[in-house]
Structure 1
C-alpha cells in the first residue's frame, strides 16, 4: 500500500459521446413550461454524488419565476457522515443561497417527512380551493419517481404509483398529479407532478459526461462499461484503494481489476476467460448501490466555477447543434477505427 501511487488525473477522452438530449427530453421540458402557471413549487432533484454536474441550467432558464427547492437525492450513496462530507454539504448550501436546499435519502422516513413539511409550509401561504401543486424535475435517473413514491407512502400512506428503474428513461412523459399531503378540513392538500428526466443539450466536458454515466443518468450502452469502470477505479484510488481489496491489491490498471473481479465472482466466458464487460457492469452496479465506497465524484470546492461556466455554455447549445456535434464525434471515431485496421 505504501508504494502504490494513484493516478493524479484521468486521461482525456475527446471522442467520448457528450450528448444524451433525446426527443422526450425536449417534449417533457416544453410540457413543463405549459403547466408552470398551475405550479406553486418546483422541486429540482440533483444527484448527491455529483452535486455540481447534475445541475441542469435549462430548468433555471425555462422554469424561472417559481419558488424552488433544490433537493440532493441519494445522500446515503455518497455520504458516510465523515467531516469532509459535512463540509461539502455546507459548501453546497452556501453556494445555492438564497434558494432552499435539502438532502434526501428516500429510504429514510425522517428525510421524507422533512420534504413533506417544507411542501406543507409552502402550501399554507397559498389560498386555493384545488390544493397546492408541486412539480418535481431533474436530470434522468436522479430519483424523481422514487421521491414521489416515498412522499406518497409517508404523506398519505398509499402504495407505489410511479415506476422506477436502474436505467434512465422509465418516466418518458408527464403524468397526472398525485396527492402527497392530505390537508384535512382546515389544511391545504398538496399534489405532486412527476416529470421525465431532462438532460443538458451538450456536455462540454468529457469527464462530466463520465460522471453522469457512472451515476446512471445515461444508458449503460452509451459509454463502454470498461471506460466507466476505469473512471470508477480512478476515484476509488483517490478515496482509498482498500475499497476493492477483496478482489486484488491496489492497481491503476482496470483490466487487472476486471479480470480479478471476473475470477472472484465467476463471470467467465466459454473456455474460462474473464468476461471483462460483464465484470465492469457488475462493478459499476456495486458502486451505485453503495457497496464500493460512498463518496462524491465532484470536487465541490475546486470544480465549482469551472462547472458553472460549462453549464452556462451548455444552455446555448441547441438540440440540433448537439446532434451535429455528436454525429461529428461518431464519424471521427469510425475513421479512427478504419485507420487502426489498416
Structure 2
C-alpha cells in the first residue's frame, strides 16, 4: 500500500496530448447540410429557439454556423448534461453565465437570450426551463400559440430534452421523440409537439410571473437533426466531440478516445480510474487493467484492448468514470470562440473537404522541410 501511495505521489501526468494526423477534421454529412437549410427556411414561422450545447464540451459544442443562422432570434441556450459535469469547478458555470450576461448587454439592439443549465434527471431543472419557455412564449403573445425549434450539434441531447419537456409540461405523460446513444437518430424536422397548454395549467405550473401575454393554444416544439460544423480546425476539438458522442464511434479509433480520456482523468485526478490501474500515462497499461477487471480477455488471457476502450469511453459518457468537462473554460478560450464565430470558415461540405486536403498538403510539406 505504501508503494502504491508513493508511486501515485511521484506520478507526473502528460502536459500535452499527442494528436494523430489520421484524426478526421469533418463530420459534416448530407443530412446535416439539409437540416441546417430546413432550419433556416422555418425560422420565419418560429417564435423561439432552444439551442442545446453539451455542458461537457460547452465551447466545442458551440456551432458558429448554426449560431449565425439563428442570430437575432428569441433564444434560450440550454447546456445539456449538466449532471455529467459535477466534478468540474462551479466556476465553469459561473464564467459561462458571466459571458452570456455580458453578451446580452453588449448586443442590446438585437434579441438577447436566456441561459439554462439542465440536469436530465432533476425534475426541478426541467420545470425551471419550462418557466423560461412560458415567459418567452407569453412575450410573443400569439393567439395560435408559439412554435419553437430545438437545435444543436449531433447527439447533444435535443430529443431527450424534448421528451422531458413534454412529460413535465403536459398532463398526459408520453415520450415523443426517438433517442439513441449514437448521433443521427433524428434526420429531419419532426412534427410540432405540444409541451405546454394554453390554459390555466401552463400558467400555474410553468410561469414565473403573471405579467405578459397569453400562451394562446400553447407551445409547440419541433425536433431537428443535429448539425455538425463543416470543418474542425483543431484536431483536439474533434476528439472531444467524438468522446462526448457527437461523432459516430467508427470515425475515430476508440483507443484514441480512451487515451484522451486517460489524459483528461490524469489532469483532474488519477484516482478516478484507481479500480482499474495505478496512475499511468500509457493507454495500453490502463486498458489492460480495464480488460482484466471487467473480464474482457481474448484466448490465453490476453487483454482485449479494443473492447476495454469501448467500455471505458461508455463508462465516462454515463458518468461512471468521472463527471468532468473536457473544455478549458476561461476568458481567452471564450474570446477565441467568439473570433471563430465572427470569422466564419468553411460553410459547405465541398469547402470542408478542400480545407482538409490543404491541411494535409501543408503537413506533408512541413515534414519534407524537416527532413
TM-score, normalised to structure 1, is 0.91
Q: Which residue of the partner structure matches residue 10 of structure 1?
A: 17
Deviation string 1:265-297 (CA, Å, 9 cap, x unpaired) is 011123322111111010000000001111111
Pick one of 67, 75, 85 that aligns with 1:60.
67
Q: Look up the match of 2:176.
A: 161
Aligned to 1:138: 152
Specify the alignment match of 1:339 in structure 2: none
Structure 2, unmatched stretches of 5+, are 1-7, 105-112, 201-213, 364-371
1:321 to 351, 354, 371: 351
- Pair 1:328–1:270, CA change in 2 (3 A): farther
Counterpart residue number, 2:187: 172
- What are the residue-to-residue correspondences of 1:199-278 with 2, within 5 Å? 199-278=228-307
Structure 1's unaligned 5+ residue stretches are: 334-342
CA deviations 1:74-131 (Å, max 9, x no partner) are: 0001124x6x22x111110111231321100121111111111111111112232321
> Deviation of residue 328 (structure 1)?
7.1
Structure having the higher Rg: 2
CA distance in structure 2 between the partners assigned to 1:4 and 1:74 by the alignment: 31
* Contact 2:231–2:346, Cα closer than 8 Å, also in 1: no
Q: What root-mean-square deviation, in Å, do the aligned CA atoms of Structure 1 and Structure 2 show? A: 2.1
Q: Distance in 1 between matches of 2:79 and 2:243?
A: 17
**In structure 2, C-alpha distance between the alignment counterparts of 1:203 and 1:314, rounded to whole Å:** 12
Residues 1:109 and 2:116 are matched in the alignment = no
Q: Matched residues in 1 for 2:17 and 2:126: separation?
A: 37
Pick which of 61-70 and 132-141 moved more: 61-70
- How far does the alpha carbon of each residue in 1:201-230 deviate from its partner, in whole angstroms, 9 at most, with x for none? 000000000110000000010000000000
What CA distance in whole angstroms lies between the structure 2 residues aligned with 1:175 and 1:2?
53
> Is 1:93 paired with 2:121?
no
Distance in 1, matches of 2:157 and 2:9, equals 39
Contact map agreement 2:142 2:215 (CA 8 A) in 1: no
Segment drifting more, 49-58 vs 309-318 = 309-318
- Measure the CA separation in 2 of the matches of 1:281 and 1:176: 35
How many residues align structurally?
Answer: 331
Q: Is the 8 A contact 1:201 1:314 kept in 2?
A: no
Q: Is the Cα contact below 8 Å between 1:24 and 1:172 reproduced in 2?
A: yes
Tell me the distance in 1 between the aligned counterparts of 2:30 and 2:43: 20
Give the deviation of 1:69 after TM superposition. Answer: 1.0
CA distance in 1, matches of 2:33, 2:350: 11
Report the Cα offset of residue 329 of structure 1: 7.5
Match of 1:35 among 36, 42, 53: 42
- Where does residue 56 of structure 2 map in the other structure? 49
1:261–1:279 contact (8 Å) kept in structure 2: yes
